Structure 1
């Protein structure tokens, strides 16, 4: 099997598993929207989940610093060396995060005060309760991230990519119980506390189940188990820490931008809930495609880190960026053109009414606009990690904190909630430019003008595709309307197909080999050869 086919196979496994997880995640968000709308329970949850969610994404996510550090180190070593390294790292991380979990639980009120000084008393009380319940996720986040990295380094991709569905299943089960027990009273003020207990408790239970599933697979594969080990002197452990510590700090600095956004959002009614719903819609395809692109490429970047392989590394960087653009920009066209009908189709039912849809739709447009820049920045960060450099992304992230705060302050006054999202887009655009320039210097030159011209051309294709999709959607509304879910689904599906068709038609004129790679992978999965 060739390396190219091997990468395609890994991408296919990750894509399918992530797709299943995201589908269940979508069901979870639909259940939350139907039960609580943009009311106090879900608005409080948006703030209470900031710290646990930050840790789950930062430490426990695929492509997070724990995952990236372990893959970059273990991929270069024999499997027999993995268990001592993994168990030592697990011991150290668990001890540190246990202290963090206790601190979060005891200081929940202070944390919510800092995160959201503008919250009303009801939302504040519910957010504190939910944060206290979810505080143990601090420990499990680190353990999940270690499991992701360990299993991926051993070429196991299915379980790590599908395991997040446990969180969705537990949340859906809890909300289903509430619907059965309370009926239409589920969003009544008298039951805000009960709804908060179920929502936060289901999130915690899902994280625990995810870790257990990974731990079983890790133990069966001989990659380390639940054993305390203090072999700090192992070279592999020290190498993991050299990458993990600055990478964690770098990613942590990036997530401080989320805190800054939510600080401003706490003064706008329903803003946090709107950002949560819109962000999930974007993260569903973004998560699938980012994992498909980044997970198989990180070990490749690591293997090409030596100077004699830098020519091929440059080719892989271009491939990662253009695959990101080719997969994200047509989605940008769709989300910008069809934000309102998409929100109506996914969420508009029961407690989620027209006013909620009108609040969320512009936020979705803003998130959609920044999809490529988010993924492109992640591709470039992984190149630095593969080069054993976590310090450079950390320094850039520190500067980004101040830039994001400035943009938040300026843009929220003009655009309110969508302005907070556009501030993040501005930060990601700036980060991409800085990372490309630094890699240009480190790798003795990148064809930046050539790459920039291609990316501008693809952005133009996206703009035309978005206009075509919006035009068809407008015609559909004039002739058929969207009075029921079938008409609404028809509008979204056909308008989306037009956006993709126009984008691919225009992009094909650029004669990009990356487009052929992308289409070949899609056709390989849809029409498997015998």
Structure 2
């Protein structure tokens, strides 16, 4: 556990800085373009490159490429170097072609992910997409470089590179605000030149991120040489395995498509935040997941893949159970604190510029609902890595089909039953229920695959963590109530709520959990104390 904890701590530090600078970027973005029509247009255009990346390579990297690189590093005489060069060659060529085609198809892509958009709003979204879609190539090439770095147990650069992206974007957004002013917050008044600055600046951030990863890969000894002798790259094996990953991502994108259409439709119905509110709340929901869970998952997958390759199923069980406990020890209190302090977080970040406090509170209410999903969502992602370590990309597809079915039914029910102003919150609740159900199903199937996942031990640990977290949530709730009674909900009072309620709550949780002798908390406390004692 200590090796995973150390590797995760390195990644978590980078992710923390990345997320903090990301929040600054999001706050500046919201202040510049609001959560109205222009905000929705930008967020949809911004999401499409990530959707296409996931469809074409994102899922394949984690489920197929990393385990295959690990195997080739062990079996090939050159340690897998030629194999990695072939992968990079395929990635550069393929992703460049995809980016070009995506730009040409920007209008139908925007129409696919929106509902009832016409006129200037649609034109603005298309124009932004044409500027933003080229980043698919740079994002994908950087991701391949990051995957190769991970197989070498070099985790820092992939976690720190997004910081540069955020810094570039913050600079672009400040320049946009100064140049466009109030006109830049409205689709009817924003100029084409301002849209070019916003779109091309967004792509420039990803270019910078990619360059950092390429330089880091060069520093660990990787030398890229284009290789077109693709016979040795194992395309047949990769294709047979990856086809299920493509199906998995495609199924999930159906769910995302439904959510995007319904949230954008709800926003138009109330002439307010729809897709933007969902997107911003989801970004904050992923803060603890990105800092803690992604770091541990990234460190776990190569290790579990090696254990599977060596036939050591007991080690796979131990790695997984250790990862679950390490993730949950901070996900449990984080989820409860988000449920209490969601509006305080969003008021502090969003109630500036052209945004109002009411707009920020609405996003916070959505974030509170997402807080319920934090633990099951994290556990679900961990469970998928068990299948991927075995090279099994088929089982996750069937689980995803069930997830999308549950999500679609609940999301449509929320859209047609709830008042328009509550639809986005209903979509967040549908997300929560989906991952609770998905986690139960995935756990059952993964447990059969490895002969048990130490469920009793994990359940006991989760129970202890929830018991320790309840007083922390109560402290945060008390601070929230007292501060709101005395000062209302403003950016200043929100900062007090977060510092006092969130800070004291987390400290109380760590103290109680340490006294309860929860091993993972003791390890974290010991590691921090050791660092401070140096």
Contact 1:86–1:146 under 8 Å retained in 2: no
Kept in 2, the 8 Å contact 1:170–1:206? The answer is yes
Contact 2:179 2:194 in 1 (8 A): no
Contact 1:84 1:224 in 2 (8 A): no
Matched, 1:280 2:283: yes
> Comparing 34-43 with 503-512, which one deviates more in the overlay?
503-512
Deviates more, 1:379-388 or 1:354-363: 354-363
For residues 299 and 465 of structure 1, what CA distance do their matches in structure 2 show?
Answer: 35
1:18 corresponds in structure 2 to 15
Distance 1:142 1:182 in 2: 31
**How much has 1:280 moved relative to structure 2?**
1.9
Distance 2:323 2:246 in 1: 22
Check conservation: 1:34, 1:347, Cα contact below 8 A: yes
Q: Name 1:492's counterpart in structure 2.
A: 498
Match of residue 51 from structure 2: 54
**8 Å CA contact retained: 1:13, 1:157:** yes
Mapped to 2, the partners of 1:9 and 1:453 lie a distance apart of 24
Partner residue in 2 for 1:196:
195
Deviates more, 1:128-137 or 1:208-217: 208-217
Counterpart secondary structure, 2:364:
helix
Match in the other structure for 1:71: 66
- Of 301, 313, 316, which aligns to 2:304? 301
**d(CA) in 2 for partners of 1:170, 1:305:** 41
Q: Distance in 1 between matches of 2:63 and 2:527?
A: 24
In structure 2, the partner of 1:209 is 208
Report how far residue 351 of structure 1 moved. 0.7
**Which of 416, 431, 442 is the matching residue for 2:449?**
442
Residues 524 and 368 of structure 1, relative CA distance in 2, 3 Å threshold:
farther
Deviation digits for residues 63-83 of structure 1, max 9, x if unmatched?
x53145333233342593333
Cross-structure match for 1:384: 387
CA distance in 2, matches of 1:138, 1:366: 31
Tell me, yes or no, if structure 1 residue 348 matches structure 2 residue 354.
no
Deviations 1:71-118 (A, max 9, x none): 323334259333311222223334433343233222222122221123
Change (3 A) 1:285 1:136: same
The Cα shift of 1:459 comes to 4.0
Matched residue, 1:229: 228
Q: When the two structures are aligned, how many residues end up with a matched partner?
A: 521
- Aligned pair partner of 1:141 in 139, 142, 154: 139
Match of 2:270 in 1: none
In structure 2, how many angstroms separate the alpha carbons of the residues matched to 1:432 and 1:483?
A: 38
Q: CA deviation at 1:386?
A: 1.0
Which residues of 2 match residues 80-229 of structure 1 at below 5 A?
A: 80-188=78-186, 189-191=188-190, 193-225=192-224, 227-229=226-228
Normalised to the residue count of structure 1, the TM-score between the two structures is 0.90
Q: Tell me if structure 2 keeps the 8 A contact 1:179–1:186.
A: yes
Task: Tell me if the contact between 2:15 and 2:160 (Cα under 8 Å) persists in the aligned partners.
Answer: yes
Q: Which moved more, 1:489-498 or 1:91-100?
A: 91-100
Q: CA RMSD of the aligned region, Å?
A: 2.6
Separation of aligned partners in 1, 2:300 and 2:380: 14
**Worse-matched range after superposition: 442-451 or 392-401:** 442-451
Contiguous gaps of at least 5 residues in structure 2: 268-272
Is 1:362 the counterpart of 2:365? The answer is: yes
